Amino acid sequence: MTFENKENLPLVSIVVPVFNGEKYLRESLDSIVNQTYRNVEILVMDDASIDSTPDIIASYGDKVQHIRQSQNKGQFGNVNDGVALASGKYTAIYHADDVYDSKIVEREAEFLETYAEVGAVFCYDIFINAKGREYNRLTVPRELQTKSCLDYQTVLNGILKYKNRFLPTPGAMVRSSVYKELGTFRGAEFQIASDLEMWLRIARRHPIGILHEYLFSYRHGHENSSQIYYRVRTEEERHFLILDQHLAEGGSQLATPEAMRAHEAHRAEDNLMVAVNHYILGKNKEAVGFLNKVKINRLLGSDAVQRGRLLVLFLVLGTLLRIPRISFFADLFYRRWHVKNYN
């Protein structure tokens, strides 16, 4: 379906949460304001920024609506307020540090108009570094590359097998009625992974759409919230809490044996990496606790993880934890997993 009648387009609300985003906000808003799809409202949700973010927003005049929080509410509290204010048929949540293709709104709105049963649509993203240079592109799992609409079982098994590598949040557009039906993002409970929990909640009720087109650029390497969260993380990733809840609520009957083996391998890998992080921080007792959670048969039970390398790491860390901490290895681990090159 294409929008031949440009005078009767459904309204799309674009929610742009931002906190101290002066460095990239103008580039992001320029790409959003200059969309080919004209019937939009752009709600810039300023989470009590203390830099020049308010001045940048003001410079766009009536092209955007500036909603400024009186106090910082956090990423998903701010997003929830934006979704509640949205008056469009569709609501997109775009990020204040990413760059959007001029046709992303048009293509996503067309998709939702074409597939009335779909609750949300996603697209592919290009990975750019802090300076805006491309260094990689999203590649979705082979079995999903030809599918436009995914049911809950497909989404669940895909995330169990690959983690969330095919539903990139900064390019999502959702039917506003679906947000009203399912409620808010649960930031207090799931923190940085609250978007994944929302997408699975939607998928349980409505098919999920994928546009196999590269329609936005996702920026890494500039201390965004995801990068900060994952650096030297000392708790199990919230991803597993979310998936375990879905499995306990009937998802286990839909999960394939292959997907479950991959899920447990990812969990073993995560516990191993958290143990490494504790070693980096000099917390050997906590490192031993997480290393003891790693089940070798599960770590080696799926090729969804790099089994050989992880086994070597498991053995090396186990040896290191039997002797006094060696700063050389702690520094080596830190440089290997927490110093990223996004060139």
The DSSP secondary-structure symbol of 318 reads H
Predicted confidence at residue 5, as pLDDT, reads: 61
Q: Where are the domains of the chain?
A: 12-229, 256-338
The first and second tokens of residue 281, run together, are: 């921080």
Predicted confidence at residue 228, as pLDDT, reads: 62
The first and second tokens of residue 152, run together, are: 């809950």
Q: How many CB atoms lie under 10 A from the CB of residue 150?
A: 21
- Cα–Cα distances in angstroms (integers) from residue 198 to residues 19, 149, 156, 228, in the given order: 22, 17, 13, 21
pTM beyond cutoff 0.75 = yes
Ordered mean pLDDT values, 10 residues apiece, the chain (343 residues): 71 97 97 97 98 97 97 95 98 97 98 97 96 94 93 98 94 97 95 96 98 96 62 91 97 98 98 97 97 97 97 98 96 91 73
Domain 12-229: give its CATH superfamily.
Spore Coat Polysaccharide Biosynthesis Protein SpsA; Chain A (3.90.550.10)
Residue 31 and residue 102 in contact, taking contact as beta carbons nearer than 8 Å: yes
